[in-house]
Amino acid sequence: MENGFFHHALTIREDICTGCSLCMRVCPTGALRIRDGKARLIEDRCVDCGECFRSCPVNAIIIEQDDFSRIFDYKYRVALVPAVLHGQFRHEVSMSEISAVLRSLGFTWVYEVEHGAEILKPAIDDLMNVRTLPRPLISSYCPAVVRLIQVRFPALIRNLATVKAPLEMAAFYCRRVLRDRGAHNAEIGVFYVTPCAAKIAAVKSPVGEESTPISGVINMDFIYNRINRTLRNKGELPLGDDHAYSVDPDTLVWSLTNGEASCVNGRTLAIDGINNVTEFLEQLENDEITGVDYLELRACDEGCAGGVLLSSNRFLVAERLRNKARNLKPGARAADNDDFPDIEAYHDYLMNKVKINDEIKPRSMYRLSGDRDEAMRMMKRSRRLMCWLPGTDCGLCGTPSCQALAEDIVRRRGDISQCVFIRESNMEKDLMDRQRSNEIMRKIWGDNNFTKNCNKKGAENESN
């Protein structure tokens, strides 16, 4: 679902935002500005990585989710649960207990997302055997990374592995099983318990696809808290037969750093953390990286264990899952739960679904205009502006860098007078007075910030 539209799961609460600029400084694509003392989002640059959400000191950035009551719009209600949800709980909390709680909340079926990765392993092997494809192939698992490449590294789009994510394969599978049992597609609601904002955005506006088999998303912190509360009365829950997991050990840790890469043949690298990923992609784009066959890139530290919607420490989550994987014997999986048969029984059906159907298109943040000649003129003007701007990237102009300010100016989103160094120079030359300079600063940082400083100074004078 391209159509020039990115759905964004991140929303800025203007009534809470103080305009501190911390979010602007950590954004890997420069998608935030400060205007009127509030953070503003440039939507065509945002990749929903969640770094702004992590950094906000006043919780002014929120992550949307579907209304939980929506699950009851469907007769058959499937919860797609990633392993990192279980990894947040102590060892003594079993997957059966988590499934029982989810059923008590209203779901009729619970299925582990990592089953979908079992279909991806042979699909990725098939891609690796196509010698005409560029190297390295880049995993399309992390939607924040896919969008980062679209927005900031469009030349690397051709390196993306054109296979769907495990959650989509799991959703296709669940729908097919239930249809085979007599359910109509419109009666089936498949809801993904998401660890991050990027996967919400991927569900709402999938890249390279017109639609998705997933009906909605539920934030993991919301579900985690509901499960925690319910487990206090777990004696009242019908647990059924206990099982640890019904997936293979290597599939269980697929979402963790090196979980996917360890399943791919050839020279593979696993890189996590949005800044590390960005730095590596810059080197790859500049042909500084050679001899690598496959890249597993994750926007979050420790992979999905570091998702912004997890409540527990990412290192503990990763350790718990790896310990669980070590305790599972390869080839000796626990019996599949009563809800669904072995996913391998639907192997041929799912292999026909695994490829991304449409071309993944670039959405370069460096594209200044849709008209090529106009874009060249704007680029030249931007370069001339950089000769005047100081290059200090101080952020006092309300943009993350001097380059960003120059691009805003040529896009008519900003003005060179936003630069405090330019204003001071103009005042020295009597080209601008102090009042006008103050007005510009207030326009960027808001009247409230200046009022607070004045009140504070007044209070100090009174105390003296």
Question: pLDDT tens digits for 247-282?
Answer: 788 889 999 999 999 999 999 999 999 999 999 999
Q: What is the mean pLDDT of residues 78-107?
A: 90
Q: Where in 122-277 does DSSP place strands (E)?
A: 137-138, 188-194, 216-219, 268-272
- What is the model's pLDDT at position 338? 52
Rounded to whole angstroms, how far apart are CA atoms 198 and 146?
10
Per-position b or e across 297-328, b if 16+ CB within 10 A of its CB = bbbbbbbbbbbbbbebebeebbebbbebbeeb
Phi, psi at 224, each rounded to 5°: -60, -45
- Torsion, Cα 227 228 230 234, to 10 degrees, reads 110
Report the share of the chain in percent with pLDDT over 70.
Answer: 89
- What is the model's pLDDT at position 44? 85
Phi, psi at 63, each rounded to 5°: -115, 125
Q: What is the mean pLDDT of residues 136-158?
A: 94
Residue 101 near residue 238 (C-beta atoms within 8 A):
no
Residue 128 near residue 265 (C-beta atoms within 8 A):
yes
Residue 140 near residue 160 (C-beta atoms within 8 A):
yes
Ranges 29-33, 98-102, 231-235: which has the least confidence:
231-235
Within 8 A by CB and 6+ apart from 182, the residues are none
* pLDDT greater than 80 at residue 365: no
The residue with tokens 């098939």 is 126
Query: Who has greater pLDDT, 188 or 229?
Result: 188
The mean predicted confidence, pLDDT, of the chain is 87
* pLDDT greater than 70 at residue 67: yes
Within 8 A by CB and 6+ apart from 335, the residues are 243, 246
* Confidence at 335, pLDDT banded by 50, 70, 90: very low
Instruction: Give pLDDT tens digits for 190-224.
Output: 999 999 999 999 998 888 777 889 999 999 999 99
* pLDDT greater than 70 at residue 244: no
Question: What are the start-end ranges of the H helices in 39-82?
Answer: 51-55
Please state the pTM of the whole predicted model: 0.88
Indicate the residue type of 136.
P
Nearest 5 degrees, angle CA 105-CA 221-CA 306?
Answer: 140
* pLDDT greater than 70 at residue 298: yes
* pLDDT greater than 60 at residue 453: no
Residue 98 near residue 88 (C-beta atoms within 8 A):
no
The ranges assigned to domains in the chain are: 68-351, 368-464
Q: Where in 58-198 does DSSP place strands (E)?
A: 61-63, 76-81, 109-112, 137-138, 188-194
Q: What is the mean pLDDT of residues 137-150?
A: 95
Q: Peptide bond preceding 195: is omega within 30 degrees of 0, i.e. cis?
A: no
